[in-house]
Amino acid sequence: MRLQKYLARAGVASRRHSEELIAAGRVAVNGRAVTEMGVKVTPGVDRVTVDGAPVELPVENVTLMLHKPAGYVTTMSDPQGRPTVAELVDAGAYPGLFPVGRLDTDTTGLLLFTTDGELGHGLLHPRHHVTKRYVALVEGALSEEQATLLRAGVELEDGLTLPADVRILAGEEAQAAARLIGSDEAASGTRQRHGGKRSRAALEADGTYVEVGLREGRKRQVRRMLEAVGHPVIALHRQSFGPLDLADLPRGAQRILTEEDVAALRQAAGIEA
């Protein structure tokens, strides 16, 4: 690991400030002052000090994915006493664990958690445009012309959206989307009255299944985009985040990510190896 990255991960300073510390001769490796930027260290083996004080990396970070059910708010605590996603993960075992972004209370699917602040920030930074892919059931028959509008970007109250990947699903693909969304009590859209008029089951027969890929993360963006073209969302499910897919992880279950998974996420977030 590059020395400046080691210092940044240890919370000493940003990478840029860490480079300034190195250039000033204030950093030593195994007792010898270092002033060059190309030096690499092995955590747990090399002894690093700044102004004579030892610097150690925090306990190994953990990143996990959760298949979020409907009915949970994406916070680690809630003053209103609502169920939170913290109840579904081993938060007590991983101090500092936090959700990467949010899913609406009624949206299901892939939600990432990490103790790695650099990773969480990188995945959400607008500069990197990490794609999140959703499947939605919307009211009415979404037309190809309306899908084209979504692909180009639509004007919302907070500005024009980036172009989206949009596919209208039919036949076996629509059936597959229906299975991903599900229809049990913990599925999206089953607890809502959808304007107080009709149940999800009543709307589903006349609705459209659609796949949406976004490279930005505004609040309730998928729902607002589809409503903007006249097709309110009945049910919404996130199936993938960057290189990771929910696959067959059961609803309500979590999975600790492998080193390969985390490396792929770090690459998607533009974080140096």
What is the DSSP code string of 153-183? --EETTEEPPP-EEEEE-HHHHHHHHHHH--
Calpha distance 215→100 (Å, rounded): 15
First to last CA, the chain: 8
Options 46, 78, 104, 261, the catalytic residue: 104
86 dihedral zone (left: phi>0; alpha: psi -120 to 50; beta):
alpha
Contact 207, 197 (CB under 8 A): no
Calpha distance 82→219 (Å, rounded): 20
Residue whose tokens read 């180009």: 152
Contact 137, 206 (CB under 8 A): no
Helix residue spans in the chain (DSSP H): 3-9, 15-23, 117-124, 144-152, 171-181, 194-197, 200-204, 221-228, 259-268
Beta-carbon-side half-sphere exposure of residue 137 (alpha carbons within 13 Å): 28
Is residue 104 annotated as a catalytic residue, yes or no? yes
Active site residues: 104
